[in-house]
Amino acid sequence: MKYISTRGQVAPTGFIDAILMGLADDGGLLVPEQLPQLSEETLKQWQQLSYQELALEVFSLFVNNEIPRADLKKLVDDSYSTFRHEDVTPVHQINEGLYVLELFHGPTFAFKDVALQFLGNLYSYISRKNNSIIHILGATSGDTGASAIEGVRGKEGIRICILHPHQKVSKVQELQMTTVSDTNVLNLSVEGTFDDCQRIIKELFADVDFKHQYHLRAINSINIARILAQTVYYFYAYFQLANKGQAEKISFSVPTGNFGDIFAGYLAQQMGLPIHKLILATNENNILARFVNEGLYQPGDFRGTYSPSMDIQVASNFERYLFYLYGGDAATVTSLMAQFKAEGRIVIPEQLLKRVQADFSAYSVDNEDCLNTIQEYHEKYGYLLDPHTACGVAASDKLAADGEVTVALSTAHPAKFDESIRLRNISQTYPEQIQALFDKPQNQIVVDGTNEEIKKQLLTFF
C-alpha cells in the first residue's frame, strides 16, 4: 500500500513517510493509492473481534509491512489500554431506532483520543526507529490540543508545543492542557483568536529551513493516520449491532467540522462495510450541509455556537472527498482548489451532485435546536448528550426514515461542555478525573500572538 497526493505531484510514498509528511509536499492531502476491498467472508470473521483485534486487522491493511505485526499489536494495545471502557467505543441504545456510539472514554473525554492515543505511540515508535527527536507543533480550539498532549506526554523522543487562544477555550479544556507537568510539554496561551494561532503555525511550517532543522511534525486531522484510526469504530459499532441481531439498514449520523470523522465512515463504506446512509450533521457553520444539499462549497459568516469544535468554515479534509468524487483525477482537484483559493467557491455539476447526495444526507442544526435536543433526550431517556453529539442526534431525528436504525456518533462527554448544558438548568456531576483537574497547579505561558515571540519560546524549549 502506497500513499499518493490528491494533487498528484508527490511520488507514491510508504506509510511511515506519509505519517511524517502530514500535509503533502504539493499542498494536497495524502490518500491510500487503492482502498482494500473486504469480502463478506472477511467481514464475518471480523464480527467477533475485540476492538483491539479489529484495529490490528484494519491497520495491517494500511501499514505496508513497514511495522512488524508484533510491534503493531503492541502499539494498538498500548493505545487503547488507556480507555476507561472495556469495549473502548461501546454503543448505547437510546430507543428502537437510535444508538449512541460513545467515543469519549479516552483520557480527555473526547473522540479525538481514539486517533491521537495511537498517533502519539506511533510517533514515539518512529522516533526510536529513526533515532531522532520529533517536535510536534499544533494549534487548538480546545479538544485537539488536550488530546494530543495526552497522546505524547512523558514519551521519550517527543516534544510537543500547543498554542491555544488565551481564555477562549472551555475551562475543562484549559485545565486538561495546562495541568500537565511533563517536561516534554509546552503550552502557550496566545493573546488572540484561534485563527491567529492557526496562522502562526501555518507560517512556521512554511519556513522550510526551520521545519527541517527541528523535524517539526503536525497533529491536525489532515494526518492520514488519524483518519485510518477512526475507520475502526465504524466497523466495530456495525458489528456490535449485527451481533445483537440488528442487521438491517444501519446508518451513521456524524457531527462534522473538518470532515475528518465522517470521511473515515465514507472510507469504511468504500472498503465494503454495508453502511446504509451517512448523515452529515453540522451546526450553524453549515458549509458542508449546504454543499451536500446545493452543490455549492462556499464559506459563510462565522457563527459562535454551543459546539465550538465544529465552528469551522473551511473543512480541511474536504479535498480528500473531492478526489474520490472526481474518480481520482488529481488535475481536476488541483484546479478546483486553485479556483477555491481565487474565487472562494466551488460549484459542482448536477450529475456529480447526485453522487454526493447518494453518498451523504445532510442537515444543519441551529443553536436553539441543539439545546432543545439535549433537553428532550435528558427528559425522555435520562441520557445527557453533549452539544456536538446533540447535533448528530438532531440530524438523525430529521433524516432517518421509520424502521431504520441510526448510530449517532458521540464525540465528547457532556462534562466538557457544562457551560452550555447549564443553560437548560441541567446539572451534572463531573467524572472524578475531570473534578480532580480543578485542584492541580497550571503550567502555561501567556504570550503575544506574533511569530517572533512563538519562535523565541520554541527555541528555548527545543
Task: Decide if residue 176 touches ligand PLP (CB under 6 A).
Answer: no
Q: Which residues fall within 8 angstroms of residue 308, CB to CB, at 6 or more apart?
A: 141, 142, 170
The residues that bridge with 91 in the sheet, in sequence order, are 101
Residue 87 corresponds to which amino acid? D
Which of the stretches 118-126, 150-158, 183-191, 249-257 binds ligand PLP when contact is defined by CB under 6 A? 249-257
Q: Which of residues 306-365 bind ligand PLP (CB under 6 A)?
A: 309-310
Which of the stretches 154-162, 168-176, 256-264, 298-306 binds ligand PLP when contact is defined by CB under 6 A? 256-264
Q: Which is nearer to ligand PLP, 72 or 146 (CB)?
A: 146
Per-residue DSSP letters for 392-451?
A: HHHHHHHHPPTT-EEEEEE-B-GGGGHHHHGGGT---PPPHHHHHHTTSPP--EEEES-H
Distance CA 281, CA 251 (A): 13
427 C-beta neighbours (distance < 10 Å), count: 7
284: phi then psi, degrees, rounded to nearest 5: -70, -15
Q: Which is nearer to ligand PLP, 116 or 216 (CB)?
A: 116
6, 108, 223, 258: which one contacts ligand PLP (CB under 6 A)? 258
18, 412, 434, 454: which one contacts ligand PLP (CB under 6 A)? 412
Task: Decide if residue 119 touches ligand PLP (CB under 6 A).
Answer: no
143, 150, 174, 369: which one contacts ligand PLP (CB under 6 A)? 143
What's the length of the chain?
Answer: 462
Active site positions, annotated: 112
Task: Decide if residue 251 touches ligand PLP (CB under 6 A).
Answer: no
In angstroms, what CA-CA distances link 224 with 99, 123, 179, 261, 394? 28, 13, 29, 12, 29
Task: Decide if residue 221 touches ligand PLP (CB under 6 A).
Answer: yes
Task: Decide if residue 138 touches ligand PLP (CB under 6 A).
Answer: no
Task: Decide if residue 396 touches ligand PLP (CB under 6 A).
Answer: no
Which of the stretches 15-23, 197-205, 259-267, 351-359 binds ligand PLP when contact is defined by CB under 6 A? 259-267
Q: Which is nearer to ligand PLP, 145 or 192 (CB)?
A: 145
Task: Decide if residue 265 touches ligand PLP (CB under 6 A).
Answer: no
CB of 93 closer than 8 Å to CB of 124: no
331 C-beta neighbours (distance < 10 Å), count: 10
Which stretches does DSSP call E strand in 213-283? 216-217, 250-255, 278-282
Which of the stretches 30-38, 182-190, 253-261, 365-373 binds ligand PLP when contact is defined by CB under 6 A? 253-261
Residues that bind ligand PLP (CB under 6 A): 110, 112, 143, 221, 255-261, 309-310, 388, 411-412
